[in-house]
Amino acid sequence: MEKSRALTKKAKKIQAGGTGSTQRLKVITLEGTTIYMERGSGSKIYDVDGNEYIDYYLDYGPLINGHAHPHIVKAIKEQVEKGTMYGINNELEIRLCEKLIKHVPCAEMVGFHSTGSEAVHTALRLARAYTGKNKIIKFEGHYHGWFDSVHISSFSPPKGPEEAPEPVLGSPLGQPKSVLQDIMVLPWNNAEVLEKTLKKQAKEVAGIIMEPIELGHGILPKEGYMETVRELSEKYDVVLIFDEVKTMFRVGLGGAQEYLKVIPDLFVCSKAMGGGLPISAFGGKKEIMELITQGKVPAMGTYNANPLSLAGALANIEVLEKDGGKAYKEMYRVGEKLMKGIREIFEELKVKAIAKGLPCQFVTCFTEMSAEEITNYRAWSKAIESAPEKGERFRVELLKRGVFSSYPDWHLSTVHSDSDVEKTLGAVEDSIKEAGLAK
């Protein structure tokens, strides 16, 4: 790790936070050193000191087809020779709109930004403009980007009663308390609380935004919950927004709305859509989206719909579409094999831990709680905070054995193989023993 140590030392002196994103430091440090990566290929990533890792981090999910997929690389190379930016419309944005409208159930019109946070911002603005109301309902533990207006009660320790959470600023230093006046925080997976809230305050509520599947916590909605949310939003004239930044093109071509068979009014997506390129999208009902066409709601950005990201995203989706979505079937098969193997190791070594979620992205957690008990952020927070030192020891030991994951998350790609799983399971077993987690 000699080269990584030298780069870490230099970065701490000249780069804010010593990293391009402060979130990264939680997953790429080893013995106080930030690991610097040099290249990636398929399911593997390589650091500047030449070490190879099976990558389950995948940049927090965007690399659905792994690193440097040949089809995506070819598309980017061809586009870069034509130009990196125009600042003027180009045909690729029409083609990508058509892809999204084809696959995403609620998409009648689509727009583009560069990041998920921007797309959320525009969706919330559309909901307010369309309804003429200001308040937004979000749910405790759901992350919708780091902008002041919505970075509330996302990763923070829960406060207040479970059925009436106290809104918590994501960054108290620098984030004005005034943003709290237009946000209402509720518990997820609790239809009764949502109904009571709307019954009392629907005249103030413009929109409901949620992660339809909490991939980062391994939590799916309870049976009937999403259908009730949809019914309530229609009854009280509230725009329903699915934040599918994590789920779209990861759980399937049509995202969580296709998986759950519940259709929102608006959606936002990013991550797995771009396959590693910086791009996000928002879209939904034409009558709402046309507020932008009519010039009533702006959706600006110098880098919106830039040709490189569009070319990469189109190529990425083409890989996912091929042979009737064969890549998804393989990813789910390999992911299920990995989850099952990890559970069997936990059981064999008598480790109190769970593996929970979908095969395309799941979580592991050292806890006395059962997977069935974890149905919302309160329960997840209790589980993950019960033994944080165990999770850190596990992450470090895996890293030493060439497995790069962002405990508690495991992201699968379409190029992870049976061989990767076998090596990973061996590393999981050895890491548990070395970390002193086995009984």
Fill in the DSSP letter of residue 406: B
Q: What span, in angstroms and rounded, lies between the C-alpha atoms of 414 and 2?
A: 33
Candidates 55, 243, 409, 420; catalytic one: 243
Q: What span, in angstroms and rounded, lies between the C-alpha atoms of 212 and 262?
A: 9
Q: What span, in angstroms and rounded, lies between the C-alpha atoms of 16 and 169?
A: 22
CA dihedral sign of residues 324, 307, 210, 58 = positive
DSSP-derived 3-state class of residue 294: coil
DSSP-derived 3-state class of residue 108: coil
Candidates 271, 285, 356, 390; catalytic one: 271
Q: What span, in angstroms and rounded, lies between the C-alpha atoms of 340 and 288?
A: 43
* Single-letter amino acid, residue 324: G
Which class for 247: exposed (0-12), middle (13-18), buried (19 or more C-beta within 10 A)? buried
Q: Phi and psi at residue 10, in whole multiples of 5°?
A: -70, -45
Q: What span, in angstroms and rounded, lies between the C-alpha atoms of 141 and 376?
A: 8
Assess whether 271 carries a catalytic annotation: yes
Q: Give the pairing type, strands 205-210 and 361-366.
A: unpaired
Fill in the DSSP letter of residue 154: S
What is the total residue count of the chain? 439
Candidates 143, 328, 377, 407; catalytic one: 143
Assess whether 243 carries a catalytic annotation: yes
CA dihedral sign of residues 47, 422, 59, 363 = negative
Assess whether 102 carries a catalytic annotation: no
Active site residues: 143, 243, 271
